[in-house]
Every structure is written in structure tokens, then in C-alpha cells.
Chains A and B, each alone.
Chain A
Amino acid sequence: MSATTVIQRSGEDAKAEKALGLQLPFDLVLVLATVGLAVCSLLTIAAATETDIPGSPDYFVIRQLVYFIVGGGLAVFLWRTDYSRLRELKYFLYGLLIVSILTVIVFGSVARGSRRAVDLPLFSFQASELGKVLLVVSLSAFAIDMTRRMADSRTTVRLLLIGLAPAALVMLQPDLGSALVFVAITLAVLFIAGVPWQHFAAFGALAAVAIALSLAVLPAVGINVLHSYQKDRLTAFLHPSETSGSEGYQQNQSRIAIGSGEKTGRGSGATQTKYNFLPEHHTDFIFAVVGERWGFAGAALVLSLYALIIWRALRILTVAKNLYGALLAGGIVVMLMFQVFVNVGMTVGVMPITGIPLPLMSYGGSSLIATMLAVGLLQSIYAQGRRAAMSQGRVLQFQ
């Protein structure tokens, strides 16, 4: 690789490398965890969708593999570029974010009552998925510009507005899950940027009031903020025994699927998946397929791979060469963590159904490519941070 030639330019370089404990220009653990999840994803989708389309058992696997390859290519490209350049593009990227969501709202195809994607010739593009990464990149850039006035509450409000505007638009699709991811990203960027605790406390109080309003007060006067299916999901989650509708059914079937996997899984006897009792088995509920087919062992392995990614991402946050990198890493960490927790939580029954995909596992090009972009960004931050540290070391050596 060309990057390594730079490092191995001189003996001093190699020494510095050893001193810093950095052998490679990319985070190997992160790469391995990502590839591991990609393999898990392909295996699980293969198992889950074997009989979904008669005559072409590999339909979904092949597509997912293509998405991985495309996503991987994009990740490599991002890794080789300096993420700091993205700061200059913040207006363009933020504009792209808003416009793409609006496009979906206006022209998107309706699937299950909401417009989330635009049908393109090769695949349907889900704007909110790419939007998650776009928001991390652009919001972090805006935050950097205001970083001197971080203690000012107006700064916090401005940043919140920038982050919550796309969240509100996504709510209109309606896609509550993605909107929540946007909120999580916004809070994460603010958190890493150093917004004072008091501001978070105030925001928390406001959010509590807003939730109370939208769930209790406004419906009472006839304004419904949440859609009825969203309320059903909440009800199904809070009172699983009282609902016999599809929401309670899905979560119950998912719980049965995971539970029936026991310690080592049911292998090809995974009837919950095979006989379609488990809904959305290759997308939102893919974790339940893992749990049923490969049991606690498989589920724990997948979770561990996620834990590795989170750990590496947090570590990359700390070695970023500048605050922008730290903000990006922080946003990405929370974006992944939130999605993993909400999705897996949904399948095991500790979270309500929100329709958030499991990053890198769920079938779907938009989510997969967006997540691969995020991984590429992390690698870029790592590589840049490493280079900065190395040059710092060289300066030290010359002094």
C-alpha cells in the first residue's frame, strides 16, 4: 500500500511506529470486526431467505454481497482521503441531507404506509440512512465553527436546530426510528463538542415535556403527533399481553425465535424463520434469526463484534488528530451504538418496535453503504491521527 511506503521511508519512522504501538495505517481490529459482521450478515441472510424467492435462494445474499463490496470500496476511498476536507463541504453536505429527505417525502415510493425510499434503477435509495452519516459530518463541521462559544446557550440551540431539522423531516415520512437516530447523533456531537451539562439538562427537561405533550396532552385535544401504528407499538411493548395485534405478534415471535435457539441454536431446524413466523427476518429482525439459528453462541459472537467496533471507534475518537475527527468519531459511535441497542433490544423485547435496521447485518443497500462509509471515516480518522502523531514524534526527534 502506498500509505505504508510513507511510513517505512526511514529507520526513524519505523522506530517511531514501534514507540507509538502503531504497525498499520488502519485499525486492524475494526477491519476484522467489520468483515466478521459482513460474513455473519451474509450467512444469516442466506439461511433466512433460502426459501423466500422460489428458484433463487441466493437472491438476497448476492445483493447484500454487492452492497458490501460497493460499501467496502467507498470505505477504502474515504480512508485514503483526509476527512478534514469534508468540513469545507458542510453546506453542500447539509443541503444534500435536507434535499434528499425532501425528495423522498415528495417522490418516494410508499412501503407499509410511509415514504422512506426513492426507487432508483438498481436499488431503492433510503435517504435517511445516508442522512445519518451526512448529519454526523455536517453537524460536526458546524460545531467546530462554534467551538469557541460552546458555553453559550445560543450555540447549543443553534446546533440543536441544525441537527433536529432533518430529524423532524424524517418524522414526516414517517420514520420514527431514523428520527431518533438523528436525535442521538445530534446529542452525541454536542456532547463530544463540550456543551455544558446544564444545557443537556435543559434539553432533557424540554424533551420530557414534549414527549408528555405528544403522548398524552395533544391526543387528548385531538392532535395526534404519533401515528396510530406507532402508538400500537408502544402499547404492545409496554403491555405485551394486552395486544393480540401484529405489533405484539412480531415481538412475541421474535422472542420465541431467539429463545428457541437456546445455547447453540437450532441450525436448519429453525422453524420460526423457515416458516415465516418471524417477520422481516432478513431486515429488521435479522438478529432473531441469528439467535434462533446459532443460539446464544452466535448472538454473543455478533454482539461481541459490535462491542469491538464500539471500542475501536471510541479509541479512534481519542487518537483523532483534531476535534473534528473526534466529533465525527463520537457521532459515529453513538449512531452505531444507538442502532445496535435499539434493534437488538427490539428483537429481545427490551425496546419497542421502531424499524431501525441492524447496522452491517440487516439486508439493505442504503443502510449498509452508509455504515460502511462511517467505518471508512473512522479508518480515515485513525490514519490521519496516526500520521499526525508520527510527525509529532519526528518533530520531537528533531528537537
Chain B
Amino acid sequence: MIDPLDKTPLRSIGESPLTPQLAMRVAMLGAIALVLFSIIFFKLWFLQVLTGDQAVREAANNRVRTVAVAAPRGAVLDRTGQTLVENRPASVMQLDPAQLPAETRAAAATWGQQMTTWARTPRSKRGPQPKVPEPSSAALKQRYAKLASVLGISTATINQRVVQQLAQLPYANVRVQVDVTTAVRNYLLERPGQFPGVSVDQIYVRRYPGGVGAAQLLGAVGQVSPEQLKADSFRGVISGAIVGQEGIERSYDRYLRGVDGTKSITIDAAGKLKGQRISRETRAGNSVRTSLDANLQRSGEAALASAMSGGGTAGAFVALDPRNGRVLALGSAPTYDPSLRAKPIASQADYERLFGEAAGAPLFNRAISGAYPTGSIFKPITALAALDRGVITADTTIDDPGVLTVGAQKFYNAGRQANGPVSLVRALQVSSDVFFYTLGRDANPLKGQIIQSWARKLGLDKATGIDLPGESSGTIPDRAWRGRQNAKELAWEKQTGKKCPPDCLYSDKRPWSVGDNIQLSVGQGDVQASPLQMAVAYSTIANGGTVVRPHLGLTIESETGRQLERIEAPPARRVVIDPRYQKSILEGLHQSTLGDGTSADVFSGWDQAKFPVYGKTGTAERPPRPDQSWYAAYVPSATKPIVIVATVEDGGFGAEAAAPAVCEMLATWFAQPSSCSAGTSRTR
């Protein structure tokens, strides 16, 4: 035995175990090995040689992310170049929604839907506001708590901001805190592991130097919504970008927003930053120079505020250049500090407190979106229609006994005051209702509903085309309108099976009557117009027939102030106004600020020789509320003519609230000493 350890029983010593059968099986193993290696080789060849370039691209996609770098937004300037809105850089602490649990995102979406339903339910019927869902897990709550202690805000506030922003824009970064200090920023950035999904980025927030107000006009910016992304006007804007959402910011967003740059950042599988480079430079937004006059705007805001001190609840003013429709000032009250909206609002309750209905809905721009009965400032339109059709001449005298009886109805002057025989000029001066009631009565049977058609010619009943979003078109009632209202009411009753309540928005199912026309002739009844529309109508009368298109934007300027583009706002149309009629009406308007005119006492200290005021008071009845005070004025000037319309809701008679506010603005505009006082006229 050569190998004593070999105890193989089957084969003799030294015999090779390689039988033919085993050899065959070994060969088969070899063949299997060959096949398996071939499979791997072919697959490798396919992956690396044939389709390798594709994998190279996929690998690049893996690690390179393109993120937007917000371009600094352009500024908004007044007519002299004074800055109304500009940027300031701010550090914002953001939370990546992808790093939040799916349950949190789902809960936020549900809450958002509940809030929408809740907000749509009428105030009387809705229950308590849906509660903001708590953080979905203890771990998340802990994360919030840790952040909260660093940022110095409450955990609940963080949760609220996260939920609110997730509900609005599910995939955009959540802005937890704007203006974090450098210390906090460094603390957070040095501990990425402790604060997952947290980033601190530099953004630009809007700043409002000068304190001119004009909050509603300037508007606000906000993250682009998913619907907006689909719109043509937001082409090229990427998700999460900040765009203009209201006011000038919205209408000139295309120029203001600039072009966001992009940054290619290299990340690892855990999303950690490994490097970055700018792949497209940002292009700063251009500035918009507006026709606004910062001084006049400030003065208007202040005058309106003081006009409201006598019981007014809200109001608005518009000042136009009657030659071309340039908006010199435009404001709405109640108002707010626009810088409040540059940062996230802490809570829904805070939002309600600042911007809710209880706060007077300050976001609502009453100057362009308010639709009110205009009261007597409508009278020049009635006069123009009557003169044009020949219902009266400039010299026609109508006896005003204080009341006009039409059938069984009696229409009174304010306070049933009798003015005796009045001509047009006198009727405007003392605001005789009976004179205009008579015109309304006499115009009613005439073909073409002349008062309505003149109101429309002068720009009422449709949007003026101002370069601001959200303009209302108002209402000029006529036969067809009343027919439509009645049809609406009938349809509503048919659909719901209920009777339209007395405060039903539609009508009381009566046909058009002479009474409607009489109401319209003095700006009462169903007529509705915005202060802006009235300013356009007065401008048209003042300039002799050019229906101006009111506008704010003048030029687009580069960052350095170079003019890039002129914004043209050609007049909407021209109407033919006989200069004789224009003269009569203007004469009446001027007389109303003189002698025993309705606003004479307001302008008692005014230098009428230098700056003759053509004004008209208005007092709109809005039962059950107190009267709404109106005043419209035109002051001709070779260099700076101006039309101002102001209104004060619940402000009482026109001479009481609105007229002094207009007077103050005129004093500012013409650099005259303020000599305005509240008027005592009790006319409409």
C-alpha cells in the first residue's frame, strides 16, 4: 500500500477514479460552466460596450440635480423714479417635503380640502374651522420641537406652516422661517444629520421703502401655482418659483420676475451635497416705472384715513391724468402693511385677524373692484345724455318743488329741500335731484335708453382695462338687464323650488319701469360702478371725449435705469361730446364748488382763480347701511390736469367725507396750503 490512508473501498490502490461515466459528467460540468460564463460575458458586453453611453447618462442623472436660483425681482418705481417696491436678500429656512412622512403630506392635503369647503360655506352655516392636523408621528413632533427651539418659535407654529404650505403646494419647499439669523443658519447647516430635510437658502423678499402704502395696488408675490404653470403668461417659470400674484406684481410679472438661473448640484445617494456649479446665470428682473406719484399717493392714503374717522368703514380714491389715463394715485381702505405679506403668516387665525372680513377685507382693492351706487356724481352723465338728445338745452329751466311725482310714486330731494326753478348749471351746483329725476322720466320713453348708452360710452358697465387684475365691470341697469335678472330669479326658483328671499341677488320680478330710469338719473337704484370707472367718465367729459384707458405702467427699465420699453395704453375709444354741452356741464361742476354750491364750503380757502375746481358731491343711499359719500373733481392745468374720485363707505354726505379727502389731495398735487374742511351740505 502506497497510501495507507486511502480507504476507498470501491477502487484498488492507485487506480484513477476517472471512469468513462465520471468523465462524461465532468465534461457536462465544464459545459455548464462554459454556458454560464458565456451568459455573463454577453450581458457584460451588452451593458458596457453596446449600451454603456446610456448608462453614463443615467449615472449623471443620478447625481446631478438642477435647481432653480431665484432671480432678483425688478423694482416698482413711481413717476419720478422713487422706489415703491424693491428686494432685499433674506435667509429662509426651508423644509424639503420629501423628507416628511407620507402621512403628514396626506393629512395636509385632507386639511386643505376641508378648509376650502369650510371657507366656501356661508358664515352663518359653517361650523368651527377645521383643526390643523397634529404631526403624524412622535418622531416628527420631536423634529419640529428641535427646530422650534433653534428658531425660537413654537412647535405648533412650525406644524401649522408646514401643513398650510403643503396643502397649497404639495411638492414645493416649505418655508418655515424667513429671516433666520446667521447664527441659526450656521447652527442648522453644521448639523445636517440632526435636521433632516432642512436647508437654509438665500431668497429675495419684497421691501417697501417710503411708506407710500398702495398695498393693494402694488400687490404681492407668491409661489407659482400648479394652474399658473400651465398658463402661457408663466411660460418658462418652474415649479416653486416666486411670481407676482396680485396687483402690479401680477400684471407686470413678465418683466419683474427676470429669468431664474439654474444650479447643477452634485449629490450622493443620501442627497448630501457634493459640489455645485452655476449652469445658467440668473437674469435680474427689470423695473417697472409707474405713473404713480408717491407724494400724492401718501397724501391720498392719509386723507382717506382721516375722512374715514367720521364713521366711514372703507373707502377708495383714484387720481387720473385726464389727458391720457395715467394713474397718479390709487388707494383702498382699510389697508395693510404690504411687508407683512413678504413672510409667511404664522397661522390661519393671524391671517384672519390681519386680512379677514372682520378686518374689513383689506386685500380687496375697492378703487377698482368695488361696485357701488354712485349717487349724484352720476348726474353729469345724465345731463350729457339729455343735452345730446335735446331733452333739455343748457337754458331749460325746470321747477324744483322738492318732489317729483310720477304716477303714484313720489321722488324727493334730499331733506325734501325745494330749489325752485333751476337750469342745468344751477341743478348741478345745488345737486337738485328733481331736475335730474325729470330728465330720467323724460328720457325713459326715448329710443335707445340714452342715459344708459351715454354711461356705457363714458366707460361704465365694463372694465376700463387698467393694468391691474381684479377689476369689476359694474352695472348699468336697463330694460334688457332687468329682463335677465328676472329670468335668473325664475330659473333659481325653478331649480331650488324655493321662493327667492327679499334679499335675493336677482330682482323682484317686476318689469323695467320709469322709476328705474329716475333712480339711475341720480346714480341710485341698481347702478353700480367703481371709483375708477367714475374717474374715467369724468376724465372723458373733462378732455372732451377721449375715453382714456387708465394705466399705471409707463416704462420698463433695466436694473441700471435704462429705458427698455414704453408701455402704450392707447385710449379705449373716442366719443363725440359737443363742446357746448361739455362747457355747460363743467360750468355746473365749477359752480358747485363756489357760492352756495354743495362743496363750496370745503373749498372755501382754495385758490379758485389759479386752480379752478370742477367738482361734484355724491351721496349714495345704501339702506340699511349709512349713506356712502362720493366726490369727483377735475382741475384743469396746462401741465398737470387731474381728475380725482374718492368714496367713503358709510361716510355720510358727499361733502362730509369724500370731498375734503379730494381737497387734501388737490392741495398736495398743486402744492397749495391745506385749507380743506368738512362740508355741511346735506344734498346727495
Q: Do A and B come from one complex?
A: yes
B591 CB to nearest A CB, Å: 80
Instruction: Tell me whether A374 is interfacial, beta carbon within 8 Å.
Output: no
Q: Could you tell me which residues of chain A, from 340 to 367, have a CB within 8 Å of some CB in chain B? A: 341, 344-345, 348-350
Contact status B8-A322, CB under 8 Å: yes
Mark interface residues in B428-442 (1 if CB within 8 Å of A CB, else 0).
000000000000000
Contact status B47-A259, CB under 8 Å: yes
Instruction: Please give, as numbers and ranges, the residues of chain A lying within 8 Å of B269 by CB-CB distance.
Output: 275-277
B269 CB to nearest A CB, Å: 4
Contact status A87-B7, CB under 8 Å: yes
Chain B residue at minimum C-beta to C-beta distance from A275:
B268
Instruction: Please give, as numbers and ranges, the residues of chain A lying within 8 Å of B505 by CB-CB distance.
Output: none
Instruction: Please give, as numbers and ranges, the residues of chain A lying within 8 Å of B21 by CB-CB distance.
Output: 194
B661 CB to nearest A CB, Å: 64
Taken together as a complex, chains A and B put the C-alpha atoms of A307 and B16 apart, in Å, by: 25
Instruction: Tell me whether A28 is interfacial, beta carbon within 8 Å.
Output: no
Instruction: Please give, as numbers and ranges, the residues of chain B lying within 8 Å of A341 by CB-CB distance.
Output: 36-37, 39-40
Taken together as a complex, chains A and B put the C-alpha atoms of A258 and B51 apart, in Å, by: 10
Known: A259-B52, A299-B44, A341-B36. A323 touches B6 (CB 8 A): no
Instruction: Please give, as numbers and ranges, the residues of chain B lying within 8 Å of A70 by CB-CB distance.
Output: none
Instruction: Please give, as numbers and ranges, the residues of chain A lying within 8 Å of B8 by CB-CB distance.
Output: 144, 322-324
Contact status A314-B26, CB under 8 Å: yes
Taken together as a complex, chains A and B put the C-alpha atoms of A257 and B60 apart, in Å, by: 11
Instruction: Tell me whether B49 is interfacial, beta carbon within 8 Å.
Output: yes
Q: Could you tell me which residues of chain B, from 417 to 435, have a CB within 8 Å of some CB in chain A? A: none
Contact status A256-B58, CB under 8 Å: yes
Instruction: Please give, as numbers and ranges, the residues of chain A lying within 8 Å of B43 by CB-CB distance.
Output: 345, 348-350
Contact of B56 among A260, A318, A321, A388 (CB under 8 A): A260
Instruction: Please give, as numbers and ranges, the residues of chain B lying within 8 Å of A188 by CB-CB distance.
Output: 29
Instruction: Tell me whether A50 is interfacial, beta carbon within 8 Å.
Output: no
Instruction: Please give, as numbers and ranges, the residues of chain B lying within 8 Å of A349 by CB-CB distance.
Output: 43, 47
Chain A residue at minimum C-beta to C-beta distance from B52:
A262
Instruction: Tell me whether B274 is interfacial, beta carbon within 8 Å.
Output: yes
Chain B residue at minimum C-beta to C-beta distance from A249:
B269
Instruction: Tell me whether A127 is interfacial, beta carbon within 8 Å.
Output: no
Chain B residue at minimum C-beta to C-beta distance from A337:
B33
Instruction: Please give, as numbers and ranges, the residues of chain A lying within 8 Å of B39 by CB-CB distance.
Output: 341, 345, 350
A88 CB to nearest B CB, Å: 9
Chain B residue at minimum C-beta to C-beta distance from A264:
B48
Taken together as a complex, chains A and B put the C-alpha atoms of A331 and B110 apart, in Å, by: 61
Instruction: Tell me whether B462 is interfacial, beta carbon within 8 Å.
Output: no
Taken together as a complex, chains A and B put the C-alpha atoms of A319 and B33 apart, in Å, by: 19
Instruction: Tell me whether A8 is interfacial, beta carbon within 8 Å.
Output: no
Contact status A296-B44, CB under 8 Å: yes
Contact status B48-A277, CB under 8 Å: no
Instruction: Please give, as numbers and ranges, the residues of chain A lying within 8 Å of B51 by CB-CB distance.
Output: 259
Which of A321, A334, A387 lies at the interface centre, i.e. has the most chain B CB atoms within 10 A of its CB? A321
Instruction: Tell me whether A303 is interfacial, beta carbon within 8 Å.
Output: yes
Contact status A296-B14, CB under 8 Å: no
Instruction: Tell me whether A227 is interfacial, beta carbon within 8 Å.
Output: no
Taken together as a complex, chains A and B put the C-alpha atoms of A321 and B32 apart, in Å, by: 24
Contact status A326-B59, CB under 8 Å: no
Contact of A277 among B26, B44, B47, B63 (CB under 8 A): B63
B406 CB to nearest A CB, Å: 78
Contact status A262-B3, CB under 8 Å: no
Instruction: Tell me whether A84 is interfacial, beta carbon within 8 Å.
Output: yes
Q: Could you tell me which residues of chain B, from 269 to 294, have a CB within 8 Å of some CB in chain A? A: 269-270, 274
Instruction: Please give, as numbers and ranges, the residues of chain A lying within 8 Å of B562 by CB-CB distance.
Output: none
Contact status A276-B270, CB under 8 Å: yes
Contact status B23-A318, CB under 8 Å: yes
Instruction: Tell me whether A255 is interfacial, beta carbon within 8 Å.
Output: yes
Taken together as a complex, chains A and B put the C-alpha atoms of A349 and B43 apart, in Å, by: 8
Instruction: Please give, as numbers and ranges, the residues of chain A lying within 8 Å of B32 by CB-CB distance.
Output: 337
Instruction: Tell me whether A170 is interfacial, beta carbon within 8 Å.
Output: no
Known: A259-B52, A349-B43. A325 touches B17 (CB 8 A): yes
Contact status B40-A348, CB under 8 Å: yes
Instruction: Tell me whether A82 is interfacial, beta carbon within 8 Å.
Output: yes
Contact of A391 among B2, B37, B40, B52 (CB under 8 A): B2
Mark interface residues in A252-268 (1 if CB within 8 Å of B CB, else 0).
01011111111100000
Instruction: Tell me whether B595 is interfacial, beta carbon within 8 Å.
Output: no
Known: A256-B58, A256-B59, A395-B14. A261 touches B48 (CB 8 A): yes
For the complex, count residues of A whose C-beta is within 8 A of B. Answer: 65
B404 CB to nearest A CB, Å: 79
Taken together as a complex, chains A and B put the C-alpha atoms of A78 and B398 apart, in Å, by: 132
Known: A257-B59, A271-B59, A318-B18. A263 touches B40 (CB 8 A): no
B11 CB to nearest A CB, Å: 7
Contact status A262-B56, CB under 8 Å: yes
Contact of B5 among A85, A275, A326, A330 (CB under 8 A): A85
Known: A148-B9, A321-B3, A323-B11. A296 touches B45 (CB 8 A): yes
Contact status A326-B45, CB under 8 Å: no
Instruction: Tell me whether B62 is interfacial, beta carbon within 8 Å.
Output: yes
Contact status B10-A314, CB under 8 Å: no
Q: Could you tell me which residues of chain B, from 58 to 92, have a CB within 8 Å of some CB in chain A? A: 58-60, 62-63
Contact status A314-B62, CB under 8 Å: no
Instruction: Tell me whether A159 is interfacial, beta carbon within 8 Å.
Output: no
Which of A255, A311, A323, A384 lies at the interface centre, i.e. has the most chain B CB atoms within 10 A of its CB? A323
Chain A residue at minimum C-beta to C-beta distance from B36:
A341
Contact status B26-A345, CB under 8 Å: no
Instruction: Tell me whether B53 is interfacial, beta carbon within 8 Å.
Output: yes
Contact of B58 among A260, A274, A330 (CB under 8 A): A260
Instruction: Tell me whether B567 is interfacial, beta carbon within 8 Å.
Output: no
Instruction: Please give, as numbers and ranges, the residues of chain B lying within 8 Å of A311 by CB-CB distance.
Output: 30, 33
Instruction: Tell me whether B100 is interfacial, beta carbon within 8 Å.
Output: no
B667 CB to nearest A CB, Å: 69
Taken together as a complex, chains A and B put the C-alpha atoms of A46 and B49 apart, in Å, by: 25
Instruction: Please give, as numbers and ranges, the residues of chain B lying within 8 Å of A144 by CB-CB distance.
Output: 8-10
Taken together as a complex, chains A and B put the C-alpha atoms of A16 and B335 apart, in Å, by: 110
Chain A residue at minimum C-beta to C-beta distance from B19:
A194
Taken together as a complex, chains A and B put the C-alpha atoms of A143 and B16 apart, in Å, by: 18
Which of B25, B33, B37 lies at the interface centre, i.e. has the most chain A CB atoms within 10 A of its CB? B33
Contact status A322-B6, CB under 8 Å: yes
Contact status B17-A259, CB under 8 Å: no
Taken together as a complex, chains A and B put the C-alpha atoms of A299 and B269 apart, in Å, by: 24
A331 CB to nearest B CB, Å: 11
Known: A85-B5, A322-B17, A330-B29. A291 touches B11 (CB 8 A): no
Instruction: Tell me whether B55 is interfacial, beta carbon within 8 Å.
Output: yes
Contact status B22-A194, CB under 8 Å: yes
Taken together as a complex, chains A and B put the C-alpha atoms of A175 and B433 apart, in Å, by: 98
Instruction: Please give, as numbers and ranges, the residues of chain A lying within 8 Å of B186 by CB-CB distance.
Output: none
B7 CB to nearest A CB, Å: 7
Instruction: Tell me whether A373 is interfacial, beta carbon within 8 Å.
Output: no
Instruction: Please give, as numbers and ranges, the residues of chain A lying within 8 Å of B49 by CB-CB distance.
Output: 262-263, 296
Q: Could you tell me which residues of chain B, from 80 to 113, have a CB within 8 Å of some CB in chain A? A: none
Known: A300-B44, A321-B3. A259 touches B54 (CB 8 A): yes
Instruction: Please give, as numbers and ranges, the residues of chain A lying within 8 Å of B23 by CB-CB distance.
Output: 318
Taken together as a complex, chains A and B put the C-alpha atoms of A384 and B55 apart, in Å, by: 49
Taken together as a complex, chains A and B put the C-alpha atoms of A300 and B52 apart, in Å, by: 15
Taken together as a complex, chains A and B put the C-alpha atoms of A325 and B17 apart, in Å, by: 9
Chain B residue at minimum C-beta to C-beta distance from A396:
B14
Known: A194-B22, A256-B58, A256-B59. A300 touches B2 (CB 8 A): no
12 A-B residue pairings within 8 Å (CB atoms)? A85-B5, A144-B10, A259-B52, A259-B54, A271-B60, A275-B62, A275-B274, A276-B269, A314-B33, A319-B16, A337-B32, A389-B16
Which residues from chain B sit less than 8 Å from chain A, CB to CB?
2-3, 5-11, 14, 16-18, 21-23, 25-26, 29-30, 32-33, 36-37, 39-41, 43-45, 47-49, 51-56, 58-60, 62-63, 266-270, 274
With A85-B5, A395-B14 already in contact, 19 other A-B pairs whose C-beta atoms are closer than 8 Å: A147-B10, A191-B29, A192-B26, A194-B25, A260-B56, A271-B60, A272-B59, A275-B268, A276-B268, A276-B269, A291-B48, A311-B30, A311-B33, A314-B29, A314-B30, A321-B16, A333-B29, A388-B3, A388-B14
The 9 closest A-B pairs by CB, nearest first: A259-B55, A262-B52, A275-B268, A276-B269, A296-B48, A260-B55, A260-B59, A322-B8, A323-B17
